[in-house]
């Protein structure tokens, strides 16, 4: 399972550049997730690694081998798509074993590999069923099983859970996490769902308009975002961001243009006793948490996460308290500053 390295890769469609010089090193056995808004280039970048899209400039290395010009069949990678792409007339057993049968492997070897994939993915009870008799989650497991039997260099997942309902997505997140622990294979995964990224990834690559905005562990990106884009993209609800000029009562470094505070780092107190005052606008009760949306005049609306329920009601006057250690400060270019910088 060699590493995968991207060196200044670019992708152009005519005059439009969609991947703008990406450098990235993915270690052997690592689970890396590409995230970003629609149109940021995450699926295009994955398809370039797979060989499904031509690389306009730069290099893609698999181990020490330059695979930039290699066709998909020579790269030794397995791709799992959003659509399951199963053969409807075949049983689960035949779907999983199809790549091996096409490669001309002997039946005993096919049966052994298919049986091991079924065991890992808990598909033993469904091997004689057809895809139409399976749930969405089971179909996706079959698609993954079809990749496992090939013993690939790495697994590439392109939004594999987006067709599933919320409950199945949670179940399949667990299944994919366990699969990575079991196989210890290199996995590259594309999603627009930051919950998937935060719960599955060893490292997250945040893409913005075809460029890498930041690479790091989920905790690094959450606690130390490199810029305003990452700060607001990672985290749900998103980080509250306030223009420095709208909050002169908050002491900030000279170069600060804005500051941000996550909803869970704000405490609601009596009006006049916090750093900012406001009026409760909307309450969103979610059971374990309540999101309190507070209108703060020129500052705008700020969201506060409150554990459990609250006795507050729309129209109540409140103060918002937060500490310097929980503030994220940004300059005029949106780059992160230390709150203690001068």
Same domain, 216 and 267: no
Q: Do 151 and 259 fall into the same domain?
A: no
Range of the domain at 137: 4-226
CATH number, domain at 258? 2.40.50.140
SS3 per-residue string spanning the chain: CCCEEEEEEEEEECCEEEEEEEEEEECCCCEEEEECCCCCCHHHHHHHHHCCCCCCEEEEEECCEECCCCCHHHHCEEEECCCCCCCCCCCHHHHHHHHHHHCCCCHHHHHHHHHHHHHHHCCHHHCCCCHHHCCHHHHHHHHHHHHHCCCCCEEEEECCCCCCCHHHHHHHHHHHHHHHHHHCCEEEEECCCHHHHHHHCCEEEEEECCEEEEEECHHHHHHCCCEHHHHHHCCCCCCEEEEHHHCCCCCCCCCCCEEEECHHHCEEECCCCCCEEEEEEEEEECCCEEEEEEECHHHCEEEEEEECCCCCCCCCEEEEECCHHHCEEECCCCEEECCCCC
d(CA 47, CA 13): 14
- State how beta strands 77-80 and 154-158 pair: parallel
CATH code, 106: 3.40.50.300
Specify whether 275 is located in the same domain as 148.
Answer: no
- Domain annotation covers residue 177: yes
User: Quick one: pLDDT at residue 342?
Assistant: 38
Whether 231 is covered by a domain: the verdict is no
> Phi and psi for 217 in degrees, rounded to 5?
-70, 160
- How much is the pLDDT for 135? 87
Q: What is the pTM of this model?
A: 0.89
With vertex at residue 137, the alpha carbon angle to CA 149 and CA 28, rounded to the nearest 5 degrees, is: 45
Comparing CA positions, the residue from 291, 295, 318 lying closest to residue 305 is 291
Last residue of a domain, one of 205, 226, 247: 226
Chunk the chain into consecutive blocks of 10 residues (it has 342) and report each block's average pLDDT, rounded to whole numbers.
Answer: 90 96 96 95 96 96 95 92 86 93 91 91 91 89 89 91 83 89 93 92 97 96 95 94 93 93 97 96 96 96 96 97 94 81 40
CB 316 within 8 A of CB 269: no
CA distance 170 to 208: 26
Q: What is the pLDDT of residue 318?
A: 98
Residues 34 and 173 in one domain: yes
Residue 50 lies in a domain: yes
Domain count, the chain: 2
Domain limit, last residue, from 226, 261, 277: 226
Angstrom distance (rounded) from CA 181 to CA 44: 27
What is the per-residue pLDDT for 338?
A: 65
Judgement on whether residues 76 and 25 belong to the same structural domain of the protein: yes
Q: Which residues 6+ apart lie within 8 Å of 273 measured at CB?
A: 319, 321
The reply to whether 277 and 175 lie within a common domain is: no
Domain co-membership, 59 together with 138: yes
Residue 232 lies in a domain: no
144 inside domain: yes
pLDDT at 83: 80
Query: In this structure, are strands 203-208 and 31-35 parallel, antiparallel, or unpaired?
Result: parallel
- Burial class for 194, CB neighbours closer than 10 Å (0-12, 13-18, 19+): buried
Torsion of CA 227, 228, 234, 240, to 10 degrees: 140
Model pLDDT, residue 190: 96
Q: Which residues are within 8 A (CB) of 166 and not within 5 positions of it... i.e. 6 or more apart?
A: none
At residue 339, the pLDDT reads 45
Q: Give the orientation angle of helix 107-121 with respect to helix 166-183, to 10 degrees.
A: 120
Q: Cβ neighbours of residue 55 under 8 Å, at least 6 residues apart?
A: 9, 10, 11, 48, 68
Question: Do 128 and 152 share a domain, yes or no?
Answer: yes
The reply to whether 132 and 64 lie within a common domain is yes
Query: Which of residues 170, 201, 226 is at a domain's end?
Result: 226
Q: Is residue 265 part of a domain?
A: yes
Based on the fold, state whether residues 216 and 273 are members of the same structural domain: no
Pair (66, 178) in one structural domain: yes
Residue 60, domain member (yes or no): yes
- Residues 269 and 169 placed together within one structural domain of the fold: no
Does any domain span residue 11? Answer: yes
């Amino acid at each position: 399972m060699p590493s995968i390295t991207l060196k200044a890769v670019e992708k152009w469609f005519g005059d439009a550049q969609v991947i703008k010089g990406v450098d990235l090193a993915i270690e052997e056995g690592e689970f890396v997730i590409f995230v970003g808004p629609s149109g940021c280039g995450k699926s295009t970048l994955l398809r370039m690694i797979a060989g499904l899209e031509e690389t306009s400039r730069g290099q893609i290395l698999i181990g020490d081998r330059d695979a930039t010009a290699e066709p998909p069949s020579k790269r030794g990678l397995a791709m799992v798509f959003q659509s399951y792409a199963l053969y409807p007339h075949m049983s689960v057993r035949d779907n999983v074993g199809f790549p091996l049968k096409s490669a001309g492997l002997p039946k005993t070897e096919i049966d052994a590999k298919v049986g091991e994939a079924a065991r890992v993915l808990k598909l033993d009870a469904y091997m004689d069923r057809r895809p139409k008799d399976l749930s969405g989650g089971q179909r996706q497991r079959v698609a993954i099983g079809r990749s496992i039997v090939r013993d690939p260099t790495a697994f590439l997942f392109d939004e594999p859970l987006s067709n599933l309902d919320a409950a199945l997505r949670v179940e399949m997140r667990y299944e994919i996490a366990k699969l990575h622990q079991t196989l210890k294979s290199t996995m590259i995964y594309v999603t627009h769902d930051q919950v998937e990224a935060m719960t599955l990834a060893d490292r997250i690559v945040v893409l913005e308009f075809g460029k890498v905005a930041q690479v790091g562990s989920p905790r690094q990106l959450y606690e130390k975002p490199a810029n305003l884009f990452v700060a607001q993209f990672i985290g749900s609800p998103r980080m509250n961001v306030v223009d420095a000029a709208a909050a002169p009562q908050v002491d900030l470094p000279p170069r600060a243009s804005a500051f941000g505070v996550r909803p869970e780092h704000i405490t609601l107190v009596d009006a006049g006793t916090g750093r900012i005052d406001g009026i409760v606008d909307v309450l969103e009760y979610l059971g374990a948490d309540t999101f309190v949306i507070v209108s703060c005049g020129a500052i705008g609306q700020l969201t506060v996460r409150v554990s459990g329920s609250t006795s507050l009601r729309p129209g109540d006057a409140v103060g918002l308290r937060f500490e310097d250690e929980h503030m994220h400060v940004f300059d005029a270019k949106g780059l992160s500053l230390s709150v203690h910088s001068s």
